[in-house]
Structure 1
Amino acid sequence: MRAIIRKLRPAHGTPRTVSAGTVTLRARGVSVSRGGRPILDDVDVEVVAGQILALVGPNGAGKSTLLAALSGELETGSGTVELDGRPLTHWSPVDMARRRAVLPQNHTVGFPFTVREVVTMGRAPWARTVREDGDAEAIAAAMSATDVTHLAERPFPSLSGGERARAALARVLAQDTETLLLDEPTAALDLGHQEQVLGLAADRARAGTAVVVVLHDLGLAAAYADRVAVLDLGRLAETGTPREVLTTEILTRVYRHPVEVIDHPATGAQLVLPVRR
């Protein structure tokens, strides 16, 4: 398959090329504890350019904790996380912000910034670099893609939960990094916007971006992920393609509830359904 190439222009002005299949983030033996209780236990995972990696699992499985460890926002108790082949400790905060963008679960802003101002914050890592010239175009494209252009002058705190989620995603897209880390980006969204957000993630992956997304909806993981990491009680239970790991046996065991995985009779798409009484 022809490799997807994505050219980026970092601060020093020399184009950097990331090809599909390149590992942009890697966790090796990562463990995290809180209050003496293990949250992650010896997790290995690779984030690959040109692919969407979905992190799934029951509540408390460690999905968001793993994402925070990968982003550098949470210190690991043991193990290492590498960004572009070097430990996170090698990079300054600005260097990391030019290489990976993070969408957290909670979208809060302490001051009544407008939506446009919030999205503009995503361009901060590129201030005083050659890429600053593309700020206006990147901001406009991100707002259009997330359907928040009409909200541009609205104060961020006045938005609904779904509108905030889309504006926060626009900020991350405007940042324009080679790796995207998205923590439950569809949680507050209606059906149409859920599909829109995962479609945007898929578009970025096809363009060569490495995408990690925490999802509760296993149907979305089956439809959009290239690889799925199933977490259970802080450990990596399974990893592979959706067809390999989103199976009746594995999901029933991990979620401790009967799950049925079938193919759609018309499209053949993989459907994941809880068994209901």
Structure 2
Amino acid sequence: MKINIEGLEFSYNGKPTLKNMNLKVNRGEFLSIIGPNGSGKTTFLKCMNRILSPKEGSIFIDKYDLNRLQREDIAKHIGYIPQAERGAFPTTVFDTVLMGRKPHMKWIPRSNDLKIVSEVIETLGLNDFSMKNINELSGGQRQKVIIARALAQQPRVLLLDEPTSSLDLKHQLEVLDITREQADNDVTVIMSVHDLNLAARYSDKIIMMKDGEIFLGGGTEILTPENIEPVYGVSVDVRRESDQIWILPRKVTCK
């Protein structure tokens, strides 16, 4: 699904948090949102999922105006993966993933709902844990379950808010490999992430946010020392080899 955002603005208690954001994302693109804490990344994702209602502006998913859709209809189009959930309800992995089918079913799941859940669990390698309580899993396993729940919605847009922030290196790569596969299968992916190297490795496009605004957008070519330093207040070295980019922090330049 194609996303078109025009003039998006949001304020907390009268203080502007998002300012005149304009953005277009094509179907099947993987867009990473980077920027320091407080730059508006999470607020932006919550506005896109209508958890928060923008003060101004519009968000279109293909022909659909998000402001005119009911919550259930939004959930049929958009899967949202928040920052690592804590204190989850004591349900099994299977039942947690089944919650993702709620927008598509009534009270009782149909055979097709159970089939989709089983397929998602198998795809994410969660078969061995499917009858376990989700609170018994490691952080990385639990995050994969939350992703599975979103994928069970069969969304055409996937929003991820810092999906790797509490994961070890192996689980970071597993989660982002799964996410990249979704984009390769025509799901539009928008992810906020702190790790610039992960953004460079997985993204088709990147936007850099600063103080609630889009500072710069483009491909990985925008990841230069001249662009990164004014956003983060840190000088970096950027090394490029073939199609790979490595960003190495040097020192803080602005406190």
Matched residue type, 2:20: D
Matched residue type, 1:37: K
Measure, in 2, the Cα distance between the counterparts of 1:119 and 1:205.
Answer: 20
Which residue number corresponds to residue 138 of structure 1? 116
Corresponding pairs, count: 250
**Fraction of identical pairs, as percent:** 32
Q: Which of 25-34 and 79-88 deviates more?
A: 79-88
Matched residue type, 1:126: H
**Equivalence map 1:18-29=2 (5 Å):** 23=2, 25-29=3-7
Which residue number corresponds to residue 157 of structure 2? 179
Q: Of the candidates 59, 71, 76, which is equivalent to residue 49 of structure 2?
A: 71
Question: What displacement does 1:276 show?
Answer: 4.8
Contact kept, 8 Å, 1:56 with 1:214, in 2: the verdict is yes
Question: What displacement does 1:147 show?
Answer: 3.2
Question: What displacement does 1:209 show?
Answer: 0.8
Q: Which of 83-92 and 70-79 deviates more?
A: 83-92
Matched residue type, 1:199: D
Contact kept, 8 Å, 1:31 with 1:43, in 2: the verdict is yes
Aligned to 1:275, the other structure's residue is in SS state strand
Which residue number corresponds to residue 230 of structure 1? 208
Which residue number corresponds to residue 194 of structure 2? 216
Question: What displacement does 1:89 show?
Answer: 2.4
**Equivalence map 1:43-54=2 (5 Å):** 43-54=21-32
Unaligned runs of 5+ in 2: none
Which residue number corresponds to residue 114 of structure 1? 92
Runs of 4+, deviation exceeding 4 Å: none
Which residue number corresponds to residue 275 of structure 1? 250
Measure, in 1, the Cα distance between the counterparts of 2:229 and 2:157.
Answer: 31
Contact kept, 8 Å, 1:54 with 1:214, in 2: the verdict is yes
Which residue number corresponds to residue 194 of structure 1? 172
Cα deviation code 1:86-144 (max 9, x no counterpart)? 3212211121111111111142465311111101111112216xx95532332223223
TM-score of the pair, normalised by structure 1: 0.84
Contact kept, 8 Å, 2:88 with 2:134, in 1: the verdict is no
Question: What displacement does 1:39 show?
Answer: 1.1
Question: What displacement does 1:80 show?
Answer: 1.4
Measure, in 2, the Cα distance between the counterparts of 1:181 and 1:152.
Answer: 24
Contact kept, 8 Å, 2:84 with 2:166, in 1: the verdict is no
Measure, in 2, the Cα distance between the counterparts of 1:111 and 1:205.
Answer: 30
Q: Which of 157-166 and 218-227 deviates more?
A: 157-166
Measure, in 2, the Cα distance between the counterparts of 1:211 and 1:219.
Answer: 17
Question: What displacement does 1:42 show?
Answer: 0.8
TM-score of the pair, normalised by structure 2: 0.91
Question: What displacement does 1:61 show?
Answer: 0.7
Question: What displacement does 1:46 show?
Answer: 2.0
Q: CA RMSD in A?
A: 1.9
Q: Of the candidates 85, 88, 92, which is equivalent to residue 66 of structure 2?
A: 88
* 1:251 equivalent in alignment to 2:225: no
Matched residue type, 1:247: T
Measure, in 2, the Cα distance between the counterparts of 1:149 and 1:61.
Answer: 38
